Structure 1
């Protein structure tokens, strides 16, 4: 009897070189949401980006990203540097196998949070490479349902923005062709939240698509009261009214009110999303690809969400999520943030309230010289072919 053994050296192409970069994107103005006004966090002044560039022996390449806000950037880079050597010699097509290998390489620090966020950059890079090799946009490789996705703007609606400027920002976003406006709420004085939402609704009219986001700052009684008040404003959703891990509390709100409940962005694994879905804790699921560990776990989450009949609204990183949202069965929303635009040479297009899926291969992205200029630390592994 012939015994078959599995070799660690693939017969085809293999990963020959990896570079990781820690890049800090400065924000023009300090950003404040409800977490700042309640004293739990400081205003955000920069975003720590983790980029992974991977090349194979045959010369194929991919670009991936992850990120951290306010804290965690150095830790993500440090963990990525520890596990990156495990990529060398692997067949780049074996993405699920590689994800598991990298996860086990850092198993002592867990299978969620910073550990998987670090490996998420590698996972995205491998999917980008796979789509480039097929000469397809990532959305097409995954099996796209549409060539554009509804999009809404968040960056103009933060709580540090005065009301008069908020009205200007909201109208400008709609005039630009963005499909919806999200307003931050969750202030200690709920009356101020109501005044701001009421003013924007009146300014934009009844047909404008509005969302609100409390960033987890309400307790259960406050969430009940605020959700009841906000019913009259015909919102697309109320986001994170409670702590991200209060699955039962979110489920009670989703069952009680007509306005959809949205949550999920702060969860950092497929297992945590499984608990949220199992409890029917929301109407809109908001997974974040880099936060859950990349595209591989995101696709598992999306499959569960589709089976449960949930709507989808991925959080942040529109440059990645426009592809993933295009591959979701029912019509999703993508969050429009122009913050990351200086990092790339390419731009996403907006038209008639929708974000167009890029037709370039892979993610359709390349790092700008500005991104290189903001890079504070790099590490390389293997030999560049």
Structure 2
């Protein structure tokens, strides 16, 4: 019989963590103007208009114990006002709840708006709350978000996309490439998918010669090729030693992406337009990609994003999260395999802090939480706001 252990009466009682509760939520609808209208292949094929602004949904959550968290979601071209309205409707469900119960609260919010779906705009609105709760939890612990989750590294490889859009003349793209390399950025992604495939090939041939054979280069067709065109272009791009070819087909053509990934040496990347864990699970089940491009705001926040990372890791895939480097540098840092993070300087005016880049890598901030605070400029660009208490 094992003797029962007695507690030493001289030992102090263990600390008991007092429960907390969500007290106030401030929602803001902010529109960031772009200096130049932006075009990719979707514009050249007539499916979209040039992008002139990005809509952001900010959630600032405060607890009864005085802890704070900042989260956001976003939408390009359309959907921003809809995210704000949906968030405003479901926000009261969080009042009085323990902010540490993040997974349970995600489920509560998704069921609060389940009649309009559990993916797409409804869960993208939830992302702002989810990110804010994770930010609060990490701040409360005095840790960067990556350290709270469990970091694998303190820096992540980064590549620039913003300098290589199709509205930018080729000579200016080369200038942008040189500027990115001078900043210490470690890779370059160029938009392709023009109606004239020869123009794409000329563009990439010139850029590869400018960069040299060894510098990491990616291309992105933004879903604008059909299957025969994608086959021809993937074959034509084989000699250029690309890190990946992104979105050669419609994002839901998992079978077509799988055929390209199986046939060609150049890796395939896709996933940025998928809006749920279930959609990413189907993509991975089909083996439709070599690099998964999940977007935390688009899939509903950090909570579902971590589930996607687990699926990708089990399948032995690489990841390169889409857009929003200020959040994704933390999430990429927890992935077991060496990831990439996408560099866009577009969001920098929204925050008081800046990310540091050195020797081809983006450094994970050491500040607690996301390490971000909204700038006065973000407040000035806010068109609508509401406080729920």
Per the normalisation by structure 1, the TM-score is 0.96
1:83 corresponds to which residue? 90
Structure 1 residue runs of 4 or more that deviate by more than 4 Å after TM superposition: none
Q: How does 1:187-226 map to 2 (within 5 A)?
A: 187-226=194-233
Cα distance change, pair 218–85 in 1 and its aligned pair in 2 (3 A): same
Shift of 1:244: 0.3
Unaligned runs of at least 5 residues, structure 1: 1-9
Q: What is the CA–CA distance in structure 2 between the aligned matches of 1:191 and 1:84, rounded to whole Å?
A: 51
Q: What is the CA–CA distance in structure 1 between the aligned matches of 2:114 and 2:167, rounded to whole Å?
A: 39
Q: What is the CA–CA distance in structure 2 between the aligned matches of 1:142 and 1:258, rounded to whole Å?
A: 34
For 2:282, what is the secondary structure of its paired residue?
helix
Is residue 299 from structure 1 mapped to residue 342 from structure 2 by the alignment?
A: no
1:156 corresponds to which residue? 163
Q: What is the CA–CA distance in structure 2 between the aligned matches of 1:54 and 1:150, rounded to whole Å?
A: 31
Q: What is the CA–CA distance in structure 1 between the aligned matches of 2:18 and 2:152, rounded to whole Å?
A: 35
Deviations 1:279-305 (A, max 9, x none): 000000000000000000000000000
2:13 corresponds to which residue? none
Is residue 182 from structure 1 mapped to residue 189 from structure 2 by the alignment?
A: yes
1:343 alignment partner, one of 337, 350, 360: 350
Unaligned runs of at least 5 residues, structure 2: 1-16
Shift of 1:11: 6.9
Shift of 1:171: 1.6
1:272 corresponds to which residue? 279
Q: What is the CA–CA distance in structure 2 between the aligned matches of 1:150 and 1:302, rounded to whole Å?
A: 17
1:379 corresponds to which residue? 386
Shift of 1:176: 1.3
Q: What is the CA–CA distance in structure 1 between the aligned matches of 2:18 and 2:361, rounded to whole Å?
A: 43
Q: What is the CA–CA distance in structure 1 between the aligned matches of 2:288 and 2:178, rounded to whole Å?
A: 32
Q: Computing the radius of gyration over CA atoms, which structure comes out larger, 1 or 2?
A: 2
Deviations 1:219-247 (A, max 9, x none): 00000000000000000000000000000
1:128 corresponds to which residue? 135
Q: What is the CA–CA distance in structure 1 between the aligned matches of 2:90 and 2:308, rounded to whole Å?
A: 24
For 2:164, what is the secondary structure of its paired residue?
coil
Is residue 69 from structure 1 mapped to residue 76 from structure 2 by the alignment?
A: yes
When the two chains are superposed, the root-mean-square deviation of aligned CA atoms in Å is 0.8
Per the normalisation by structure 2, the TM-score is 0.95
Q: How does 1:1-385 map to 2 (within 5 A)?
A: 12-382=19-389
Q: What is the CA–CA distance in structure 1 between the aligned matches of 2:24 and 2:238, rounded to whole Å?
A: 54
Deviations 1:346-378 (A, max 9, x none): 000000000000000000000000000000000
Q: What is the CA–CA distance in structure 2 between the aligned matches of 1:11 and 1:96, rounded to whole Å?
A: 20
